[in-house]
Amino acid sequence: MKPTVPAFFFPAVFSMIFLASFYFTVTNMAGIYIASDLGGSHLDSVFGMVFYGLGNMLSIPLAKYLTYRYGADKLVIRSLLLYTLFSLCLGFAPTYPMFNYFRFGHGLAAGPLYFLCKHWIDAYSPPEKLAFYSTIMIMMFTVVPVFGAVFGGFVAYETHWRWIFHFNEPLSLILAFYFWRAFANIESPKTEKIPFDLWGYLSYCLAFGSIVTGATLAQELDWYRSDFFMIFVWVGTPSLIFFLWWEWDHPDPIVDIKLFANPLLRFTLINLGILFSIYYGMIILIPLWLQIYVNYTPLWVAVILITMLLAAPFAFLFFRYWVHRMDPRLPLGVSILLLLFSCLYSIHFDVEIDFTHLAITRSIAGFGFMLFLVPLFRLAFTAVERKQDESSFVLLQAVRTFCCALGGSLYVILWQRRQYFYYSRLVSEFNPYSQLTRDYYKRATEVFYLTEDQATAQFQVYLERQASVLGLNDCFGFMALVLGILLVVLIGSFYYKSINSAIVSTELEN
């Protein structure tokens, strides 16, 4: 018999996961304003999102241990209070490095909230509503980040970016007070003195902290020519090797990597990581390009991003009533096909792209993104025994946050490097001996009455805009290539006996 929970308990739980997911991407569109105000460049604006994701990733594995060792009620109150404290610090950050340190702390405080949401849904939801609540939780991981990006851009444009982090303070404090009062009337499970894998956790932090930080700062540090970058390489590589060796045979691992030996779960994690990296890459690159080079205001960019949510009601109804009747790989395949089509469509963007074409590609991508997550979670929990659900959830969330953070930064670096490549090629075509150059200056001075200096400045603007869109097209081309490979792997899974047998046996049980 499950304990009775007070009124509004599950809305409070979903509000908690809303806060954690919402503030993951809240600096996406607002990042340009934040970086320029605190001394960074527009290409550094992604750092706030990356370090929040890194904080999530490092604290998610702690959540399971802290829940069973000290109690979920104590953990949620402390997490929400710490979350509020870092929100306050972010609102008063004096420099961009300090802002990113606070974002990392913000992510650390929010990480346990993901696990607690899953833990409480399993522990307290009525059996007839378990699937319904689980679907809501999973859908929030794809729907809420878009709202976060839109909200951040709107507030930064209309008022001041510092207000973004003050708006959540009342809600997080109210939630902390609510859970404090709620668990005074709920009989909490007894805590256990379980062992803590200290060496595993330290190597986990060193390995993935070095990988994410090094990859994010690589372009700024000039890659292997930087001593700082090499420190990340020499610290991260042996730490990763030690972590894998230590965790594989540990009786109480901080992250159960032995689950990777399961073919179905391995297939799920590969899809989850790649699709989330593409998702966050898209919702970073499109707003950056539109705001910097196409002169869109955050309000119009917000409208374009919101078109990605048109599929949300359809996806929710589909997963609520029909998805359990079919192989989860079928909606996953449809999702990959839609994303592939959206990327191939986006390859043909140019500097004169209109709102309609942007909205079409984002809405198609939105249908793809809304369809992939519930089937993947269903596959993940199909792959493991019931007692391993929480361990697999920790692994799923660690992979998701890692790929979101790393994918977002690497796609920006890819765009930046391809932009430099095309700029150098375009400039080489225009020189004092080129007929194209002579025609341009003749038209600029005789038709538009520009001075030579004005014509040269405008010429630089044209080159940057053209290089930016060509680099963006290459990024979407790379996404399309990765999605094509993923589709081939998905098709191949229908011929993989161990994956088929696991899915069929679960369908027979249901």
Q: What is the DSSP string of 409-443?
A: HHHHHHHHHHHHHHHHHHHHT-STT-HHHHHHHHH
Judge if 164 and 84 occupy the same domain.
Answer: yes
pLDDT at residue 366 is higher than 90: no
Judge if 298 and 391 occupy the same domain.
Answer: yes
Q: What is the distance in angstroms between the CA of the first residue and the CA of the last residue of the chain?
A: 22
Judge if 186 and 291 occupy the same domain.
Answer: no
Q: Which of 240, 179, 183 is closest to 208 using CA atoms?
A: 240
Long-range (24+ apart) CB contacts under 8 A made by 472-475 are 472/285, 472/289, 472/346, 472/349, 472/415, 473/346, 473/347, 473/348, 473/349, 474/414, 474/415, 474/418, 475/281, 475/285, 475/411, 475/414, 475/415, 475/418
**pLDDT tens string 419-458:** 888 888 877 766 666 676 777 677 777 666 667 667 777 7
Question: Residue 243 domain-assigned?
Answer: no
pLDDT score recorded for residue 506? 52
Question: Residue 203 domain-assigned?
Answer: no
pLDDT score recorded for residue 503? 61
Q: Do residues 72 and 119 make contact, with C-beta atoms less than 8 angstroms apart?
A: yes
pLDDT score recorded for residue 498? 64
Question: Residue 108 domain-assigned?
Answer: yes
Judge if 163 and 300 occupy the same domain.
Answer: no
Q: Do residues 276 and 398 make contact, with C-beta atoms less than 8 angstroms apart?
A: no
Q: Do residues 370 and 315 make contact, with C-beta atoms less than 8 angstroms apart?
A: yes
Question: Residue 292 domain-assigned?
Answer: yes
Q: How far apart are CA 214 and CA 431, in angstroms?
A: 38
Q: How far apart are CA 200 and CA 84, in angstroms?
A: 29
Judge if 447 and 347 occupy the same domain.
Answer: yes
Judge if 180 and 282 occupy the same domain.
Answer: no
pLDDT at residue 104 is higher than 90: yes
Read off the pLDDT of each residue in 265-287 and give the average, rounded to a whole number. Answer: 87
pLDDT score recorded for residue 509? 46
Judge if 267 and 179 occupy the same domain.
Answer: no
Question: Residue 210 domain-assigned?
Answer: no
Question: Residue 227 domain-assigned?
Answer: no
Judge if 48 and 158 occupy the same domain.
Answer: yes
Domain residues for 457?
A: 255-510
**pLDDT tens string 29-71:** 888 888 888 887 777 888 888 999 999 999 999 888 888 888 8
pLDDT at residue 510 is higher than 60: no
Question: Residue 300 domain-assigned?
Answer: yes
pLDDT at residue 291 is higher than 50: yes
Sign of torsion over alpha carbons 30, 36, 42, 45:
negative
Judge if 287 and 424 occupy the same domain.
Answer: yes
- Least confident among 100-104, 156-160, 440-444: 440-444
Domain at 300, CATH number = 1.20.1250.20
